[in-house]
Amino acid sequence: MSNEADLIARLQDPSRKEAAFRTLLAEYQERLYWQIRRMVISHDDADDVLQNTFIKIYKHIGTFKGESKLHSWMYRIAANEALSFMKKRSRRLGVSDEGLQEYLVSNLEADPYFDGDKAQLQLQRALARLPDKQREVFNLKYFDEMKYEEMSELLDTSVGALKASYHLAVKKIESYLKEINA
């Protein structure tokens, strides 16, 4: 039995669930945190979404059938949590999804948990202007250096469509950076 299969078996066994959940947290909390953080931008929001994600994982691990990798399943929960969190936030503020992204990035300079330089800030501004899907694909490819095949399982999208999204994202970022640095 592989390590992952063994972990899943322990997570689905009530008598061993608590200990297995601690192992799961230790192994995945950081990876999921950064994936969420890049979506919601602020640390406090990322913390909320990460907690909600793991609570959902804990409650629903019994229904996990093992048809995908454990990380893919958890990533989809995290991405859904982050997206619904952002949607609620944009409704509350009365702005569009794109408007919210730009608003969040405009607050980055004053964020105590952002110490990026000018280039990092410019990249975040460029990313805020991308559609959700393209930003997600760019983040996974550029920062996580994820393979298209893995991303394809994660996002349930064909490799061809992912390459197209990444290519378009890069073109848009490139053109934005040229424009502001001209």
Partner 1 sequence: MKSNKHNGGFRVPENYFEGFADRIKDRLQASGGAGLPEETGFRVPGGYFENFQDRLTQRLAGEQPGDSRGKVRRLWPARLGWTAAAAAAVILLVTFWPASTADALGFEDLAQTEIQRYLEDDGDDMGAYELAESLPLEEIALSDVLESLPEEDQILDYLNQDSETVDELYWNGDE
Interacting residues with partner 1 (CB under 8 A): 22, 25-26, 29-30, 33-34, 37-38, 43, 47, 50-51, 54-55, 58, 87, 97, 113-124, 131-134, 141-143, 158, 160-161, 163-168, 170, 173-174, 177-178, 181
- The residue (of 68 and 177) whose beta carbon lies closer to partner 1 is 177
- The residue (of 28 and 73) whose beta carbon lies closer to partner 1 is 28
Least Å distance between CB 55 and partner 1?
Answer: 6
Contact (CB, 8 A) for 125 and 172: no
Least Å distance between CB 54 and partner 1?
Answer: 6
- The residue (of 51 and 106) whose beta carbon lies closer to partner 1 is 51
Contact (CB, 8 A) for 38 and 30: no
H or E element that contains 181? helix 159-181
- The residue (of 2 and 59) whose beta carbon lies closer to partner 1 is 59
Least Å distance between CB 44 and partner 1?
Answer: 10
For residue 85, which of 29, 124, 37 has the smallest C-alpha distance? 37
Half-sphere exposure of 90 (CA within 13 A, CB side): 17
The two three-digit tokens of residue 21, written as one number:
């959940």
Contact (CB, 8 A) for 111 and 105: no
- The residue (of 5 and 13) whose beta carbon lies closer to partner 1 is 13
Phi, psi of 102 (to 5 degrees): -65, -35
Least Å distance between CB 77 and partner 1?
Answer: 14
